[in-house]
Amino acid sequence: MIVMKSTKYKKYVSVELKVDAEGRVCPLSIIWEDGQKFEIDRVLDVRFAASRKAGGVGTRYTCIIRGQQRYLYWEDPQWFIELQ
């Protein structure tokens, strides 16, 4: 029997963000551990949600990064992005 592992998982990342005077957080870019930086073009939605693909729960930011929709999570005290 061959067991296929899921290729979807969470990748912990550094996040550059902006916090306004009311305390609202807006992520601006994600940074891989090797220093690659990816700008977040747009945040479409923010809500508390579980990651069904990677496991975990936290504040989910639905983002557009390089034209693709991605989920970025704040799972206190870390940020992660779902990878495929």
- Tell me, what's the pLDDT at 1? 52
Please report where in the chains the tokens 């899921």 appear, as a residue: 6
Tell me, what's the pLDDT at 56? 86
Residue 3 lies in a domain: no
Number of domains in the chain: 1
Residue 37 tokens read as: 């930086």
pLDDT for the residue 55: 86
Write out the chain's pLDDT in tens, 84 residues.
Answer: 554 454 568 899 999 999 999 999 999 999 999 999 999 999 999 999 999 888 889 999 999 999 999 999 999 999 999 887
Full residue range of the structural domain in which residue 60 is found: 14-83
Tokens of 31: 């940074």
Separation between Cα atoms, residue 6 and residue 41, nearest integer Å:
28
